[in-house]
Structure 1
Amino acid sequence: MGRRRKPPRRKFGAVRRLPSGRWQARYPGKDGTLRPAPTTFDTKPDAEIWLTQVEADQLRGDWIDPAAGAVDFQSFATRWIDERGLAATTDELYRRLLRLHLAPTFGALALNEIGPARIRTWRAERSKATGATTVAKSYRLLKAVMQTAADDDLIKRNPCRIKGAGQEHAAERPTAEVEEVFGLADAIGPRWRLMILLGAFASMRPEELAELRRKDVDQDRGSIWVTRAAPELTTGERVVGDPKSRAGRREIVLPEFLHLDVKRHLDWYAEKGPEGLVFVGERGAPLRRSTFGRKFRKARGQVGLPDDFRFYDLRHTGNTLAADTGAKLKDLMVRAGQSTERAQLIYQHSKRKHQQRIAHAMHRDVLRQRGSTAGQGGSRQTRATVRPLFADREVAEAQQEAADEKQA
């Protein structure tokens, strides 16, 4: 009778029975050291199946060392922000979102402890406590940080999987009419009048106006060059640097009605010399958000604009007017210093008068085409369908208008 053969020894990992009766699986990491599975198993085959799955993951390159994801979220997210080289305002925003909205929930957790269910719960709680825009921005930051953790093989997969959670659906911003813009410019006083007008009709951002210098204003060409910006942080620090994006560096051709205001402001209020700031306070100091903000809110109240109307909303007026000229989307983006089509579309508004203008243009075009078709005989179906819609007098007018345009 032959000897009983022992089962072949495992080539990957090891399985052993614990005093409790449960089975433990251990597997080698990249350093060759055996490490235990995160859980124990009811049976030996269950433990061996788990080891087979780990071995397959390592062979495919999909295996993630559980110890790698043990770093806490607060430390990793802070380092993530430090390494990005962000603009001052973006850096400040991210640190505020981390401090107020992410760290209280995730800060002390290890990266590999943050799962989809925990994120869904956090988002639901934040949605009750703060605005939808802030929640969307916080979620986008969380998703970006966790994606880097996945790219660095600290976690297997990004746990942020809520569709549309990072999209902002802000309410339609108020838009000032042209007369309201001029009323605001008059109410705020002569020193700050041009700032209001450039914010609206040149689509300039407040931080761009704060760093505008005499050398950037070309009165002969009737244009302004935007090359720098000076956003003011919540700490009051004035940070001088590049515009918001690469598209922010641009030449803005001014409408002619602004030329006199530009000349007067440069003569009366701007600092002297090519490097002189165009906008300074009564005591010659650079523009400060807090001081200007008080004057803006007071003037806003005098004109009757809503309390939530911001200086940035002046860009809506200018960009909508520019769009109404029939300018191409690319030209509108260049004028406003925007790098994406989506950003430009935010600033274009379709009011009833715009819809009426479209309807009237369609009306005139159909009249012209109908008149042209009637003159050529047209098809039986066209004559039968279109002819009853308009009086003969309107057709005659449309034909005459079409002839005049062709002659011109």
Structure 2
Amino acid sequence: MAKTRSGIGNIRKLPSGRYQVRYVDPHGMRRTGGTFQTKQLADAEKSRIVHAIENGTWEQRQAIESGDLDPKTLTLAGIAEHWYNVHVTRKGMPLRPGVINEYRRYLNNVLTPLRDKPIRSITSQQVEKWYAPEHKRAANQATKAYKHLKQLLEYAVKRKLITSNPCDIDGASSYTPTQKQLVPTTKQVALMLEVSPEPFRTMVALAVYGGLRKGEIYALTRSDIKIVKSPDGNRLFVDVNKAIQWDGKDELVGDPKSESGVRVIELPTPAIEIITAHLKSVGINPDAALFPRKAGSDLHWGKYQINPLWRHTREVAGFKGRFHDLRAYHLTQFGLTGATPTEIMDRGGHSDYKTALRYQRATGREADLIKRLG
């Protein structure tokens, strides 16, 4: 038998005339490394095994042969799809379809120059070469794509697929918009409520009087609306406990955007009449969709069903922003009441303190408090 210098492996000739590689793995287990037609081929395989054991890469090689990711050929697209399948959130939940779709959009439409490259070949200079023109073209999108790229490659480092993360551009993970968010005026909001047809008018009311996100509004059912009688008149509460996500055309009902998104909010008097009137057209089943796609349907409104109605409504009101900006209007008005950042966070279902603080500052309350110091 031909033994190696370390005594790890040897080759023996079988009765069939073929040559078998035998060796002892790093755990002391005797193994065979395959049989070969010639001794020369067996010697080559034995050398590869011994080299892998001696330089500490044997475990990784065995894992690849068992179907694990091969760092030599693994592309950015390959590790992305793997990560989408195995990653879990802080709550221990898999990524939502909407989140995965957004990540795939970054990968296929923004990270195109890097998408099909082996991750071991991606360098810091290549990342810079991609990022610089992309940031000039669409800064916010480039920042989001960069953060996702960094996230994927950090996972690759953690799994020892690469030795270091090439995403090291200072400040590339932060974005500050140059333009302030558009917020409609009270006059524009009143006009929107006046011209909007039902049930879209009720949707607008939930956004401007409750600050609900579009996906949260879509997901509401009859049981989520609670009307409580009191000596001063009815009070109306909305239980926000789910949101609509879409996987292509498939509708999925899941958790709100964040853990803080689960909340119960009371709506002011102007919203009560609108929502109470709308409930008359909703099925009596507690699980009946507040906004069914069709009369009697179990499906909620479609993803883009709101768009033509919103375009017409905002045009009449002279507003150029998004439907989501109605939420900003509500939280700004809520801040004007003197609400604290914590109260704004609870109302809007935010997990970010800075976001809530922005709505409070937008009201001018900070300037008023400074005047009181004098």
Q: Same fold (TM over 0.5)?
A: yes
Q: Distance in 2 between matches of 1:236 and 1:245?
A: 23
Residue 338 of structure 1 is matched in structure 2 by 350
Counterpart selection for 2:291 from 279, 286, 305: 279
Do the aligned residues in 1 keep the contact of 2:207 with 2:326 (CA within 8 Å)?
Answer: yes
Contact (CA 8 Å) 2:345, 2:356: kept in 1 or not? yes
State how far apart, in whole Å, the 2-side matches of 1:204 and 1:142 are: 31
In the alignment, is residue 302 of structure 1 matched against residue 316 of structure 2?
yes
Residue 262 (structure 1) aligns with = 275
Residue 238 of structure 1 aligns to a residue in which SS? strand
Residue 343 of structure 2 aligns with an amino acid whose one-letter code is D
Distance in 1, Cα, partners of 2:216 & 2:193: 18
Alignment CA distance shift 1:349-1:231 (3 Å): farther
- Return closer, same or farther for 1:161/1:302 CA change in 2, 3 Å cut-off: same
Paired with 2:309 and 2:275, the residues of 1 have a C-alpha distance of: 20
Contact 1:227 1:248 in 2 (8 A): yes
Task: Render the CA deviation track for 1:265-320: whole Å, top value 9, x for unaligned.
Answer: 112x32322111112356455312322210111111011112xx111101111111
Preserved CA contact (<8 Å) 2:97 2:246: no
C-alpha distance in structure 2 between counterparts of 1:160 and 1:265, whole Å:
51
Equivalent residue number for residue 198 of structure 2: 190
Per mean C-alpha deviation after superposition, the further-off stretch among 339-348 and 134-143 is 339-348
Distance in 1 of aligned mates of 2:188 and 2:215: 22
Q: Does structure 2 conserve the Cα–Cα contact (< 8 Å) formed by 1:224 and 1:254?
A: yes
Q: In the alignment, which of 257, 262, 265 is matched to residue 252 of structure 1? A: 265
- Cα separation, 2, equivalents of 1:125 and 1:363: 45
Distance 1:157 1:32 in 2: 23
Alignment of 1:192-207 (within 5 A): 192-207=200-215
The within-5 A match list for 1:283-362 is 283-285=295-297, 286-306=300-320, 309-348=321-360, 350=362, 354=364, 358-359=367-368
Contact 1:227–1:250 at 8 Å: present in 2 too?
yes
> Is 1:238–2:267 an aligned residue pair?
no
Aligned residue among 153, 157, 177 for 2:164: 157
Q: Deviations over 1:62-90 (max 9, x none)?
A: xxxxx845422221122112212211211
Aligned partners of 1:181 and 1:337: how far apart in 2?
A: 22
| 1:165 to 1:365, Cα distance in 2 relative to 1, 3 A | closer
When residues 237 and 349 of structure 1 are mapped into structure 2, their CA distance, relative to the original with a 3 A threshold, is farther
Q: In 2, are the aligned partners of 1:182 and 1:197 still within 8 Å (CA)?
A: no
Q: Indicate whether 1:132 and 2:139 are aligned.
A: yes
**Aligned-residue offset at 1:111:** 1.7
Structure 1 residue 348 displacement after superposition: 4.7
User: What is the TM-score with the length of structure 1 in the denominator?
Assistant: 0.68
The corresponding residue for 2:174 is: 167
- Following the alignment from structure 1 to structure 2, what is the Cα–Cα distance between the partners of residues 273 and 205? 24
Task: Note if 1:73 corresponds to 2:76.
Answer: yes
- 1:115 CA displacement: 1.2
The equivalent residue for 1:370 is none
**Where does residue 87 of structure 1 map in the other structure?**
96
Corresponding residue for 1:373?
none
Match of 2:217 in 1: 209
Residues 272/154 of structure 1: CA separation in 2 closer, same or farther (3 Å cut)? same
Q: Distance in 2 between matches of 1:276 and 1:117?
A: 55
The alignment of Structure 1 onto Structure 2 pairs a total of residues equal to 301
2:129 counterpart of 1:100 = no
Higher helix share: 1
* Alignment-derived partner of residue 16 in structure 1: none
Amino acid at match of 1:160: C
What is the deviation of 1:123? 0.4
Cα displacement (A) at 1:34 = 10
CA distance in structure 2 between the partners assigned to 1:172 and 1:255 by the alignment: 27
The structure where strand makes up a greater share of residues is: 2
Structure-to-structure mapping, 1:213-232, within 5 angstroms = 213-220=221-228, 221-232=235-246
Separation (CA, whole Å) in 1 of partners of 2:199 and 2:293 = 8
Gapped regions of structure 2 (runs ≥ 5): 1-5, 7-49, 58-69, 88-93, 229-234
TM-score normalised according to structure 2 size: 0.73
Structure 2 vs 1, CA of residues 199 and 30 (structure 1 numbering), >3 Å: closer, same or farther? Answer: same
CA drift of 1:174 comes to 0.6
- Counterpart AA for 2:113: T
Larger Rg: 1
Percent of aligned pairs sharing the same letter? 25
User: Counterpart of 1:31?
Assistant: 53
